[in-house]
Amino acid sequence: MNIEFAQAWLDAFFTSGEATRDFYAPDGIFTDPILDQHVEGHEQMMRLFPLWSMRDVFGSHKFIAVDYLGDDKLGVFHWVWQANFIDNFLGMPTKGATPFIEGMTVQCYNEDGKITRDWTYWDAVQCLKQLPYPIENPPATPHLWRDGWDQNTDPMTAPRPIPPALAQLEWSPGPYTKGLVDQLRVVPTGAERVARMDLIDTRAQPWLDAFFTSGEATRDFYTPDGTFEDPILDQHVVGHERMMRLFPLWSMRDLFGTHKFIATDYLGGERLGVFNWVWQANFLGDVFLGMPTGGAQPFIDGITVQVYDDNGKVIRDWTFWDGIQLAKQLPYPIVEPPQTPHMWRDGYDPATDDTSAPRPIPAELEKQNWSPGPYDGNLIEELRAKLSADVPTVTSL
């Protein structure tokens, strides 16, 4: 697979339900945790996918793949999206805003090139920053592909329940009870071809544990010029020096509270690693990103993709997590946008750091045509060159 395949998959969403469905094996699974969508098989897909191409329902969009990492068994690609919704997004009024969002999709393929399992994550906090405030009610994620769906009884604003094993688990710094951790770990259906559960405790879990151990412990997973990226927290941190302005904060329990952070699988290999994880947070001071938590201890799903060098050090990574699931667990109304400080940047000053501002939309995306296009090919090439400039080439796992 390649970037052309990725772009064709994105284009299909605004073409027809059938066009999107046909990328999947008959028993394939489409997952967008942020929209609370876990859709199994062609029949369920056809209850959901056609809606995306209905411009009178979902408006018009720009949806561009900017890179591709992986091979014909496991693929990772990043994309940018600008949305022109009719009047609301997930029940939250947009009042004319056309949000710019970054996301990442991980796909597993069978021998025929069909998708057997995927995960799509995107920067919901970036989206929330671009909406008008206050936000009076939690975001609504309808489940119309489910058997017997009824919009009058669908709990659209309810968060997903926390897995019982995670609820029972010890808070950081642990140690965690192995039996409870084992209950959380499973090879995802449809990902058997690329699962490497033997690497979960040598690559994924030690990296997660390091965040609540020390800054040095986390830094040492990276090459000296490695890049850590969490788009949801607006963090793009290059090199050990800048990492040490950020990483130590996570292990300060008097600042960030206590946490549970468990890798649930590992896909890929020694060059490209993908792992899903679950997180429960007990924030100190009842606030997260400047938003009051009301004492909530939110449960969140996330995914991390890492590229390794020959010594197993991280060259580049991306971490995405479910900001809408988080938002559903906070008290309402939310009166101000989330805040994402940039303390790793040179010359950082908390008094002048614009923590609640969204990232600016790339000019090449802003100039692009809305769906159904066609897109301007030159603008696509310029956009990809800009946004993938520091993405390593990965063609094997």
% pLDDT > 70, the chain: 100
pLDDT at 288: 86
CA distance 360 to 130: 10
Q: Which two tokens stand for residue 158?
A: 């309810």
Summarised one tens digit per residue, pLDDT across range 39-49 is 999 999 999 99
pLDDT at 86: 64
For the segment 162-189, the average pLDDT, to the nearest whole number, is 95
For the segment 356-376, the average pLDDT, to the nearest whole number, is 92
pLDDT of residue 284 exceeding 80 = no
Structure pTM? Answer: 0.96
For the segment 212-226, the average pLDDT, to the nearest whole number, is 97
Domains of the chain: 3-149+357-387 (3.10.450.50), 164-328 (3.10.450.50)
pLDDT at 60: 85
For the segment 293-313, the average pLDDT, to the nearest whole number, is 95
pLDDT of residue 275 exceeding 90 = yes
